[in-house]
Structure 1
Amino acid sequence: MEQKGPPGELYFVGKKEELMEAKRTFRTVEDRDILIIYHQEGFYAMDSYCHHAGGMLQNGDIEEIDGKLCIICPKHKYKISLAKGEGLYKGNDPTQKTPRTKWFSKGVKQRVHTVTETNGDIYVKLSREPAWIDSDYFQGEKGKVERARAEALETMAST
């Protein structure tokens, strides 16, 4: 379902009940592929391809990590917070005398979009954050070509 309109507009992406039942829904809005997720009574929207290597987030598990709901890319297990698009990783805190493993942020890596509901209809407003966010790469032409090539190689390897 391709949605087009003036930049900054709210885009209808589906009926609340249908999106709740589906749990995850793929939409293309202004030539941007996004994933709408319904989890624990909340809606989230983000670029649908992982910032790291373009993996399809639609099939990723959702877990709570360090108090944040995260989707885990099925391709390389990258962890991305649903609310902010933050990349998370586990490492040792070098400031501690006794190294302890904890979760750290890589900063925002995945572009997230605003979801609103009006009278049972769900709308998405695309992020207009002007700074480059890593997931932007897989929304552009070079990233789409790279993603297609990787998918073709995976298909050939599995046959």
Structure 2
Amino acid sequence: MEQSDCQYLACSESDIKPGARKRLEVNGRDIFLVNIKGKIYALDSHCYHVGGPLHEGDIEDTAGRTCLVCPWHEYRVRVDTGESLHQVYDPSDDTKPPEWKECGVKQRTHMVKVRNGSVFVTLSDMTQELASDEYNICKQ
């Protein structure tokens, strides 16, 4: 993996066409790229909840937000921000439909730039710990 000013050459743009995913190690971190309708996102590969294979999850629209759904426990993570979404019920009013609420950033996302047909990843600032950090450090 080629590095330039903390940007890592991940792959060629042609390697990650719309709908494709690519899992890789970047500077000791297990991440994956996913191309959704021509936009490439980078996230930690394992779900923040208990380390499920988020990189294998379905892509779904949840309340107008594009999410990955972890195949283990169906936790939903926004691809663009890493925020977790949960369905909230009001037990005092069973006529009120459940609502989707954002519950804060739990999954680490990383910056992606496409330049001259190449895809570069810059790892996010690791100074603030996130729940997904526990599961995405590659063992040497």
Superposed displacement of residue 33, structure 1 = 0.3
Q: In structure 1, what is the Cα distance between the partners aligned to 2:3 and 2:14? A: 24
- Name the residue aligned to 2:89: 92
Compared CA separation, residues 22 and 62, structure 1 to 2 (3 A): closer
In the alignment, does 2:130 pair up with 1:133? Answer: yes
Shift of 1:140: 4.2
Question: Which of 40, 53, 56 is the aligned partner of 1:59?
Answer: 56
Residue correspondence of structure 1 range 22-61 to structure 2 within 5 A: 23-61=20-58
Name the structure where helix makes up a greater proportion of residues.
1
CA contact 1:44–1:113 (8 Å) conserved in 2 = yes
Deviations along 1:52-85, one digit per CA (max 9) or x if unpaired, are 0111112110001111100000111100000000
Q: Larger RCO: Structure 1 or Structure 2 (Cα < 8 Å, ≥ 6 residues apart)? A: 2
Contact 2:2–2:9 (Cα < 8 Å) also in 1:
no
CA distance in 1, matches of 2:76, 2:40: 18
Q: TM-score, normalised by structure 2?
A: 0.88
TM-score, normalised with respect to structure 1 = 0.78
CA distance in 1, matches of 2:11, 2:18: 11
2:20 partner amino acid:
K
Shift of 1:129: 4.4
Please name the residue that 1:79 is paired with.
76
Q: Is the 8 A contact 2:3 2:9 kept in 1?
A: no
Is the radius of gyration larger for structure 1 or structure 2?
Answer: 1
> Structure 2: 5+ residue runs without aligned partners?
none
Shift of 1:92: 2.3
Unpaired runs of 5+ in structure 1? 145-159
Would you say how many aligned residue pairs link Structure 1 and Structure 2?
Answer: 139
Q: Tell me the C-alpha RMSD between the 2 structures.
A: 2.4
Instruction: Give the alignment partner of residue 16 of structure 1, picking from 3, 13, 18.
Output: 13
